[in-house]
Amino acid sequence: MELGYFTLTDNPPDYGADRRDANQFLREVLDEGVLAEDLGFASVWLPEHHFGLFGCLPTPALYLANLAARTRRVKLAPGTVVLPINQPLRVAEEFLSLDLLSDGRAIFCAGRGYDHREYDGFGLSIAESRERFDEAFELVRRAFTEENLTCSAPVAA
C-alpha cells in the first residue's frame, strides 16, 4: 500500500480568530510536501480553491512545480482541478509542463467542484458544471494523448 499526503488548505472566514495567515500557511504546506517525501509518502495532493471561501490555494500546478524543484521522488497531484471554471487547454499545458519539470511525477485529477460561490466568482453557473466538465475533460484528455491537437474554434473557459 502507498500513502499520500493531502491537504484541503482549509482556512475559511468562519474560523474567525483561528484563521491562519494564508501566505504563511501556504509556505508551510510546501514545507509539509517536502517532509512528506522525507517520511516516505508516495504522493502529495494540493487542492484548488478560490477567493478564500474555504481553502486558500487557487493554483495547484504552480505550487506543485515548486515542490517538483524541492523533491525527487514523490508524485505530485492536484486534489482536484475544478475543471469547469478553468480553460481546459491551459490546464493541460500546465500539467504537461509539471510532468516535464518533475521528470514524469505528475498525476492529473479533475472534478466539477462543489461550491457555487467559486462558480459565482467567475461568473459561471454551477448548474452547467456537468456539461462544462465533460467538454473540458475531453479536451484535456486529447491534449494529453494526441501528438498534433488542433482546435477549430476558441475554447471557452
CATH number of the domain residue 129 falls in: 3.20.20.30
- In this prediction, residue 49 has a pLDDT band, given cuts at 50, 70 and 90, of very high
pLDDT, mean of residues 72-89: 98
Which of the two residues, 46 and 149, has the higher pLDDT score? Answer: 46
Is this structure's pTM higher than 0.85?
A: yes
Instruction: Kindly state whether residue 79 falls inside one of the protein's structural domains.
Output: yes
* pLDDT score for 150: 80
Q: What are phi and psi of 13, to 5 degrees?
A: -55, -30
Q: Three-state SS for 111?
A: strand
Instruction: Kindly state whether residue 97 falls inside one of the protein's structural domains.
Output: yes
Give CA separation, 30 vs 33, 45, 139, 151, 152, in Å.
5, 11, 30, 36, 39
Give CA separation, 149 vs 127, 129, 152, 154, in Å.
29, 24, 10, 13
User: Which domain, by its residues, includes 87?
Assistant: 4-145
